[in-house]
């Protein structure tokens, strides 16, 4: 089974809530406000998180400021179902990333608070010390490793989303030549679009016209109205959106293997390696005791599971 088919099979049966969620990460995801997507039950992971017991040794290894505060300040772009988004109340963060963050914090013996900010602000906020961690479906890449460290927790890749029926006959990256496409500013999607534009022009074909926005909501609106022929997204989010937005009548995913597949990473300031080590060790324990798998299973994204927690494993 291809990686796409495996992901599709997993996500077709996933029951998630469609709320006011929009774009965000490296794969900016979520469904547009007012898109008419179906509202389904968010999985109840309360018992899974409650069963996590803190590891005193990991707690003792935390940097003093975090241990004293008793709280991890985590930032996300909370517009990316099923990664992280808001529940129906518009205030409560939910998603498999949110649950993983809570489980990691519980293992470390601290609380975690979620801050919602633009994806493009995450790295600079981390570098400035405004936050302790980022967890926003951000691809761990060598370029980003020059700025921050990553604790890898999930595997995904870029995919192409088009209007239902694929009126522009887009079948893969090479058929994007000469097309208008939309991406979210500051994501690996934007870099891929630039690379693909170069590839098209070097082959003597028309280049891509790329629109970069701060919100996947905006991109989906442009796609629905035909102002762009395609948007780039991460596979889990793209399949989720295509199944829920407009009750599945608005969009579809172009079949094929994920593009530039690689890990998502929890971002940590490069000057705070003890925190990165503590988070990695906490995640390792959650993988070993089965909590990690239970969370991914609950959200229907178990195919993206990593076998071990690593630091800066992306390429």
Instruction: Output the pLDDT for position 82.
Output: 86
Instruction: Output the pLDDT for position 148.
Output: 98
Instruction: Output the pLDDT for position 30.
Output: 40
Phi then psi dihedrals of residue 50, to 5 deg = -65, -25
Instruction: Output the pLDDT for position 1.
Output: 33
Instruction: Output the pLDDT for position 187.
Output: 87
Collect the ranges in the chain with pLDDT lower than 50: 1-25, 27-39
Instruction: Output the pLDDT for position 40.
Output: 52
Sign of CA dihedral 25, 66, 126, 147: negative
Whole-structure pTM value: 0.70
Phi then psi dihedrals of residue 241, to 5 deg = -60, -45
Instruction: Output the pLDDT for position 89.
Output: 93
- Which residues neighbour 291 within 8 Å (Cβ) at sequence distance 6 or greater? 48, 51, 52, 103
> What is the fold, at CATH topology level, of the domain defined by 158-259?
D-Maltodextrin-Binding Protein; domain 2 (3.40.190)
Instruction: Output the pLDDT for position 10.
Output: 34
Cα 273 to Cα 26: distance, rounded to the nearest angstrom: 24
Class of domain 3-156+261-311: alpha beta
pLDDT digits (tens, 9 = 90+) for 224-233: 999 999 999 9
Q: Check for a shared fold between 3-156+261-311 and 158-259.
A: yes
Radius of gyration of the chain (CA): 19
Cα 112 to Cα 1: distance, rounded to the nearest angstrom: 38
Domain ranges of the chain: 3-156+261-311, 158-259
């Amino acid at each position: 089974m291809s990686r796409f088919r495996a992901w599709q099979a997993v996500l077709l049966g996933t029951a998630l809530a469609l709320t006011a969620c929009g774009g965000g990460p490296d794969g900016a995801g979520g469904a547009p406000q007012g898109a008419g997507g179906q509202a389904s039950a968010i999985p109840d992971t309360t018992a899974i998180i409650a069963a996590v017991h803190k590891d005193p040794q990991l707690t003792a290894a935390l940097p003093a400021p975090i241990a004293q505060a008793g709280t991890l300040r985590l930032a996300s772009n909370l517009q990316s179902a099923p990664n992280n988004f808001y529940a129906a109340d518009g205030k409560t963060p939910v998603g498999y990333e949110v649950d993983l963050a809570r489980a990691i914090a519980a293992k470390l013996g601290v609380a975690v608070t979620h801050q919602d900010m633009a994806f493009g602000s995450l790295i600079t906020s981390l570098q400035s010390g405004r936050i302790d961690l980022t967890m926003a479906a951000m691809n761990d890449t060598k370029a980003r490793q020059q700025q921050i460290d990553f604790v890898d927790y999930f595997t995904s890749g870029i995919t192409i989303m088009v209007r239902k029926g694929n009126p522009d006959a887009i079948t893969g990256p090479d058929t994007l030549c000469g097309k208008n496409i939309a991406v979210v500013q500051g994501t690996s999607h934007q870099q891929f679009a630039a690379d693909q534009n170069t590839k098209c022009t070097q082959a003597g074909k028309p280049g891509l016209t790329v629109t970069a926005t701060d919100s996947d909501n905006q991109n989906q609106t442009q796609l629905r109205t035909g102002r762009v022929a395609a948007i780039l997204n991460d596979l889990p989010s793209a399949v989720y959106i295509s199944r829920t937005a407009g009750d599945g009548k608005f969009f579809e995913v172009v079949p094929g293997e994920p593009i530039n597949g690689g890990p998502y990473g929890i971002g940590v300031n490069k000057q705070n390696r003890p925190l990165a080590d503590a988070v990695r060790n906490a995640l390792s324990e959650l993988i070993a005791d089965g909590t990690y798998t239970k969370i991914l299973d609950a959200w229907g994204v178990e195919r993206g599971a990593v076998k071990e927690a690593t630091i800066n494993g992306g390429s």
